[in-house]
Chain A
Amino acid sequence: MKRVLLSGNEAVAMGAWCAGVRVAAAYPGTPSTEILEELSRLPGVYCEWSPNEKVALEVGIGSCLGGARTLVAMKHVGLNVAADPWMTLPYIGVNAGLVLAVADDPGMHSSQNEQDSRYYARMAKVPMLEPADSAECFEMVGAALELSERYDTPVMLRLETRVSHSRTVVEYREDRRGVDLTYEKDAVKRVMIPGHARLRHPVVIERLARLQQESERSPFNRAEMRSTRIGIVSSGVCYQYVREAFPEASVYKLGFVYPLPEKALREFASHFRRLYVVEEMEPWIEENLKAMGLDVVGKARVPRDGELNPDVVARSLCELMEMDTGVKGGGWSPPLPRAKPPEEASLPARPPVMCPGCPHRGLFYALRRNKAVVSSDIGCYTLSVLPPLSGIDCQVCMGAGVGMALGLEKAFASSETNADKAGKVVGVLGDSTFIHGGITGLIDMVYNRTPSTIVILDNRTTAMTGFQDHPGTGRTLMGEETHALDLAELARAVGVESVRIVDPWDLAQTEAAIAEEMAAPRTSVIVSRRPCVLRERHQGAPYRVDAGKCDACKSCLRLGCPALVMRGDSAAVDEDLCVGCSLCAQLCRRGAIEEVGEGA
């Protein structure tokens, strides 16, 4: 037996490997990314970064039908992209097991919304397991694959940031099962024309009833009886918070969360005057218990937005528990600080920023100079929304910068009040996200004759999630060399007449290119190309400010570079941070900024 500390994501990967998974597909997204990264390091598993989550799931459907145990991973918003195959897959069923690992992000550490993926399990009528630590991540992947095969259904493994990115102890034996099932054609079951689908939907409904019985028997669901005065229902990492905040409370710990073990929950409820439900985000368990007619308190006290933690759980329920039980604070007492610690709001924030030398900085500076209306999507460049660049007008999801630009342009074209903005619309997106969800929007733009400009911020990697390869980089997740998709050629192929490549470290060139393309009455694409500075370290000499020449006009500070500061009456460069991109020197009208080693 090995006894190691693994993150939840690493444990999912190891559990999948031990359970004999042979094919895995994903699109990177925090907090799910490391699952495939870890799995790709283990032998005997085909792992791929797919162009987007929909393709990843389709690859997974094919491979499980082909007889290989399969893992597909994505973050919560990725499942929106994959929702189309997800909703019909349960009709088709599997052959070898298929697990979809979906990682939610309560508190939005690195996401644009707080959607609760549990609804996708119910909507698709797919069973869902939810681990509370890494040991359960490991165990549940294997259990989910067996469940998948036994019931001929995909299974959802629902993760959250604090499960995916917490390291906890896992004890396991490094054995790998061999699963290789025969492929046989079965068109009535797997070709969802209406006539076939009408036969399959009742099967899905009947299966759900059998899965409910399975949930009643599941070892992942258990009543932990302690105090008879407080009964709490919880699952996932929230179960850990409950144990921390109210160690004496009885807890029904759910692991097989959908379908719920209704009979077992009723039995648990019978011991208490009422139940408390502790869950993050939506009142999913709460609604189900209320529909069963049970007296429960949940989101009336426990916040529906933001992330929970032991303190939030304790503070939200302690008064009510004291009233219900007579025990002070329900057993929880607040800490006794030596002095009052500072309030977070009273301190200067330290938001994430674009790195010194980031190629996106010059591009957004040039867009601002051109007074562009900028629609964007999701990546490091989204950080340019912060002052001083304030470079983005709207952003919603991957690839959306293109479609939104089209819509803005059409609205402005027929507007009197916004006539001055017509022709000023620029959509921006990354190299990876252009492939993920931008290319179809660009086809629309050309097809429907839209005079907007699209900028592809091509930094040769998927930077925000930690430098994953994609179809444009020429390398696969397995580390093999492959064809590198040429984004400029792709844009030309869909009919964009003007496609040009600029270096965003050349401000004058970049600004002029944007001005020309914005003015031109046609769809155009600018590929802003320079590798991410974190990925390919620029070895240039740092710059410095000649304090004698600087007149403190602060023009250079408008770049929002963390290496530029005001020191007294002069701007100054932090030479430890500067990578020598020279943007500040290009902006300085007095020639006060020069490369270290040049001049005096």
Chain B
Amino acid sequence: MPDAVLAGVGGQGNVLSAKVLAETALRMGYDVKTSEVHGMAQRGGSVICMVRWGERVHSPLVPEGRAAFLLAFELLEGMRFLRYLSGEGTAIVNLYRLDPLPVLRGDAEYPQEALQVIRACAARTLEMDARAMAAEAGNPRAAGSVLLGALSVHLDFPQDAWREAIVSSVPSKAVEVNLRAFSAGAEYATAVNRPGRGGG
């Protein structure tokens, strides 16, 4: 069961990206379950979403160490939820740092080694400045679609299913930008997709 965990900060859009991934898997005829947390988490806190698909899915929560994919929307949040990633799994990382309040106030240090730790725990990492790529596609807030595009290269879902899921999940005025961002992510991942450690 190729579970995916999407880790980010409230407002980054990982809830929407999880929805797009889940809708794509649904179109492939799979049983699908997702999990997300609303409420407090949306006020700039850590937000984790999980998407699972397969012939039959039981728990909406991914067990630790079993996810095939970790989409890190932000480095510290990717590091925080690494425990869900399988030792055989792939980390798709947005090279983006957003300091949490304790760091802003000088009470804690941002872990400089975040990327190294992610690389050590993942069988493969795919690293990109998704925010810049999304900005080039028209809006930096579409970074999640860049990461999904990169993920799409590792899955056998046809492009049409992804496109339909984006059209049905994203607000209509943002569809074009998200489709462009998705393509940019897919192209980048295709270019660096080779055995062993890609990206970087």
Contacts and interface: CB of A to CB of B under 8 A. Distances in A.
Interface of A: 3-5, 30-31, 33-34, 109-110, 133, 161-162, 165-169, 237, 240-241, 243-245, 309-311, 314, 334-339, 341-342, 344, 347-355, 380, 383, 386-388, 464-466, 557, 560, 562, 564-566
B105 interface: yes
Contacts of A244: 58-59, 63
Given A110-B39, A348-B102, A237 B60 contact: yes
B124 to A, nearest CB: 11
B82 A241 contact: no
B100 A165 contact: no
B123 A338 contact: yes
Contact of B66 (A165, A335, A348): A335
Nearest to B60: A166
B120 A380 contact: no
Interface in B37-55: 37-46
A562 B82 contact: no
Given A165-B37, A347-B76, A339 B22 contact: no
Nearest to A105: B39
Given A109-B39, A339-B120, A348-B102, 14 more contacts: A30-B38, A167-B36, A168-B32, A240-B58, A244-B59, A310-B59, A335-B86, A338-B87, A341-B121, A351-B45, A352-B40, A352-B42, A353-B45, A560-B101
Contacts of B65: 334-337
B2 to A, nearest CB: 15
B122 to A, nearest CB: 7
A110 B101 contact: no
Given A169-B32, A309-B63, A348-B108, A335 B42 contact: no
Given A338-B120, A355-B44, A166 B31 contact: no
A350 B99 CA distance: 9
B35 A133 contact: no
B152 to A, nearest CB: 19
A228 to B, nearest CB: 21
Contact of B100 (A310, A311, A348, A465): A348
A243 to B, nearest CB: 4
Given A110-B38, A354-B43, A562-B101, A336 B87 contact: yes
Contacts of B106: 566
Nearest to B63: A310
B26 interface: yes
B117 interface: yes
B32 A565 contact: no
Given A309-B59, A335-B65, A337-B121, A348 B36 contact: no
B76 A309 contact: no
A30 B43 CA distance: 14
Given A243-B58, A334-B65, A342-B82, A350 B45 contact: yes
B80 interface: yes
A247 to B, nearest CB: 8
Contacts of B58: 240-241, 243-244
A282 B79 CA distance: 33
A78 B67 CA distance: 36
A564 B105 CA distance: 9
- In the A-B complex, the 9 residue pairs with the smallest Cβ-Cβ separation, listed nearest first, are A335-B65, A110-B39, A352-B43, A30-B39, A166-B60, A352-B45, A338-B87, A348-B108, A350-B100
A334 B64 CA distance: 9
A190 B193 CA distance: 71
B102 A349 contact: yes
A169 B44 contact: no
Contact-size category for B? 35 or more
B39 A348 contact: no
Interface in B14-45: 19, 22-23, 26, 31-45
A302 to B, nearest CB: 15
B24 to A, nearest CB: 11
A457 B8 CA distance: 30
A163 to B, nearest CB: 8
Contacts of B38: 30-31, 33-34, 109-110, 165, 466
Contacts of A169: 26, 31-33
Given A349-B102, A380-B43, A557-B105, A166 B77 contact: no
B43 A353 contact: yes
Contacts of A245: 63
30 contacts: A5-B26, A31-B38, A34-B38, A109-B37, A165-B36, A167-B19, A167-B34, A168-B33, A243-B58, A244-B58, A310-B61, A311-B63, A338-B122, A341-B85, A341-B121, A348-B102, A348-B110, A348-B111, A349-B102, A351-B101, A352-B10, A353-B44, A380-B43, A386-B101, A465-B39, A466-B38, A466-B42, A560-B101, A560-B105, A562-B101
A289 to B, nearest CB: 23
B83 interface: yes
Nearest to A166: B60
Contacts of B19: 167
Given A240-B60, A335-B86, A352-B45, A347 B111 contact: yes
A566 B61 CA distance: 38
B35 A166 contact: yes
Nearest to B29: A3
B138 to A, nearest CB: 17
Most buried by A among B31, B34, B59: B59
B33 A562 contact: no
Nearest to B23: A5
Given A241-B59, A309-B63, A167 B100 contact: no
Contacts of B192: none
Contacts of B109: 348
Contacts of A566: 104, 106
Nearest to A354: B43
A119 B165 CA distance: 42
> Which has the most chain B C-beta neighbours within 10 Å: A3, A341, A344, A562?
A341
Interface in B102-155: 102-106, 108-111, 117, 120-123
A166 B64 CA distance: 18
Given A5-B23, A31-B38, A165-B35, A350 B63 contact: no
B9 interface: yes
Contacts of A161: 37
A565 B37 contact: no
Given A166-B33, A342-B80, A31 B105 contact: no
Contacts of B36: 165-167
A341 B37 contact: no
B80 A353 contact: no
Contacts of B87: 335-338
Contacts of A309: 59, 61, 63
B9 A350 contact: yes
Nearest to B30: A169
A465 B23 CA distance: 25
